[in-house]
Amino acid sequence: MNGYQITFFTQQDKRHHGQPIGEWLLMLAREMELPGATLVAGSEGFGYHRRIHSAHFFELADQPQEVQMAVNREDAERLFERLRQEGVHLFYVKTPVEFGVLGD
pLDDT in tens, 13-47: 889 999 999 999 999 999 999 999 999 986 565 65
Write down the architecture of domain 2-98 according to CATH: 2-Layer Sandwich (3.30)
Compute and round to an integer the Cα radius of gyration of the chain: 15
pTM comes to 0.82
List Cβ neighbours of 84 (8 Å cut-off, separation of 6 or more).
none
List the alpha helices (DSSP H) in the chain: 21-31, 73-86
Q: Give which of 61, 50, 56 is closest to 22, Cα–Cα.
A: 61
What is the identity of the amino acid at 24? W
Task: Determine the pLDDT at residue 16.
Answer: 94
| DSSP H or E run through 15 | strand 15-16
Q: Give which of 65, 78, 58, 61 is closest to 23, Cα–Cα.
A: 65
